[in-house]
Amino acid sequence: MAYCGRFAPTPSGPLHFGSLIAALGSYLDAKAHAGRWLVRIEDVDKPRAQDAAADTILMQLEQHGLHWDGEVIKQSQRDDLYQHYLQRLHTAGLTYRCDCSRRQIKANGLYYSGYCRHRSNVSEPYAIRFCNDQAELHFTDRYQGRVDLEPAFAREDFVLKRRDQLYAYQLAVVVDDIEQGVTDIVRGSDLLLPSSWQLSLWQQFTQQQPRLMHLPLALDPQGRKLSKQNHAPALDSSRISENLFQALQFLTLEPDAALRHEPAAIILEWALQRWSVSEFF
């Protein structure tokens, strides 16, 4: 299949340096494989989403020369599609209702036990969980190599639709990737472990599995990943070339010092050639 990659930020704030690394890595990998690079706004968690942040993110990508292919879709506008796929799982007998609170689950162990699988008296409000009977216990990642999951985590019956009636990220991301024809997922390693759940869902809908690459995370001085929750500073739009240069350094592409002051287009042209002969390709 022709390569199709994507960058899928959450619009809870502007892009920071860690976001740029994920965006740049996915962009370079797509273009090095002569593929398409999509941008999707992952605002399925509607209370956290900010319309202004989505606009800012798209502007930041364009400022850094990261131009996407096709239409930008928003998860908040795709509830009917997620319900369609959820109904397919329900028809196949792969879902059940669960009214357990987070507090109850935590009191009974680190992972959800499947307590509600065979209960008939589940009360509202309830979540809908996936019967994860064919869990992916290991998979191959293009950067991390073989990834082995803790069986209790991999086999957990994860949530597909939340108690507040919002669709869960695990369902939405798989549905969108399948519907958009995504073949390759390049993102940060904070999403490495949930990939096993997502692959378990993929196999219910299609035989075609995505290739995965989980890049290292940029950390703050306290050793925490750069994130909006940890108040990572937004990308400085007055330092476009420097931002790209530092991101390439983080990705170990060893950019020439002369690139530091070149326009974004020149930096990206060099980076694309370097990616095509790097260990990532």
Instruction: Tell me the per-residue pLDDT of 199-218, one tens digit each, with 9 for 90 and over.
Output: 999 999 999 999 999 999 98
> Would you state the pLDDT for residue 120?
87
pLDDT in tens, 163-196: 999 999 999 999 999 999 999 999 999 999 999 9
Q: Does the pLDDT at position 141 exceed 80?
A: yes
The Cα–Cα gap between 136 and 177 comes to 18
Domain assignment present for residue 281? The answer is: no
User: For the domain that residue 226 is a member of, what is the CATH number?
Assistant: 3.40.50.620
Question: pTM of the predicted model, to two decimals?
Answer: 0.94
Going across the sheet that includes 211-215, the strands are: 145-148, 138-141, 211-215, 184-188
- Going by the annotation, the residues of the binding site for L-glutamate are 6-10, 42, 169, 187
- Going by the annotation, the residues of the binding site for ATP are 228
On whether the CB atoms of residues 68 and 97 are closer than 8 A, the answer is: no
Task: Output phi, psi for 183, to 5 deg.
Answer: -105, -25
Q: How confident is the model at residue 231 (pLDDT cuts 50, 70, 90)?
A: low
Q: How confident is the model at residue 223 (pLDDT cuts 50, 70, 90)?
A: confident
Domain assignment present for residue 66? The answer is: yes
Domain span at residue 87 reads 4-275
> Would you state the pLDDT for residue 108?
87
Q: Does the pLDDT at position 121 exceed 70?
A: yes
The Cα–Cα gap between 135 and 203 comes to 10
pLDDT in tens, 22-61: 999 999 999 999 999 999 999 999 988 888 999 999 999 9
Residue 125 falls in which region: left (phi positive, over 0), alpha (psi -120 to 50) or beta: beta
Q: In 3-state terms, what secondary structure has residue 38?
A: strand
Rounded (10°) angle between helices 17-32 and 264-275: 60
Domain assignment present for residue 61? The answer is: yes
Domain assignment present for residue 44? The answer is: yes
Percent over 70 (pLDDT), the chain = 98
Q: What is the DSSP letter of 166?
A: P
**DSSP-assigned beta bridge partners for residue 219:** 225
Residue 169 exposed, middle or buried by CB count within 10 Å (0-12, 13-18, 19+): buried
Averaged pLDDT for residues 136-158: 96
Q: Does the pLDDT at position 228 exceed 70?
A: no
How far does CA 231 lie from the centroid of its chain? 20
Q: Does the pLDDT at position 230 exceed 80?
A: no
Averaged pLDDT for residues 121-143: 96
Q: What would the two tokens of residue 225 be?
A: 């990943």
pLDDT in tens, 235-269: 999 999 999 999 999 999 999 999 999 999 999 99
Q: In 3-state terms, what secondary structure has residue 43?
A: coil
Going across the sheet that includes 4-7, the strands are: 4-7, 36-41, 73-74
Residue among 70, 93, 74 at smallest CA distance from 82: 74
- Going by the annotation, the residues of the binding site are 6-10, 42, 98, 100, 112, 116, 169, 187, 228
> Would you state the pLDDT for residue 161?
98
- Going by the annotation, the residues of the binding site for Zn(2+) are 98, 100, 112, 116
Domain assignment present for residue 240? The answer is: yes
Domain assignment present for residue 126? The answer is: yes
Domain assignment present for residue 280? The answer is: no
> Total domain count for the chain?
1
On whether the CB atoms of residues 173 and 210 are closer than 8 A, the answer is: no
Residue 200 falls in which region: left (phi positive, over 0), alpha (psi -120 to 50) or beta: alpha
Residue of 94 and 47 predicted with greater confidence: 94
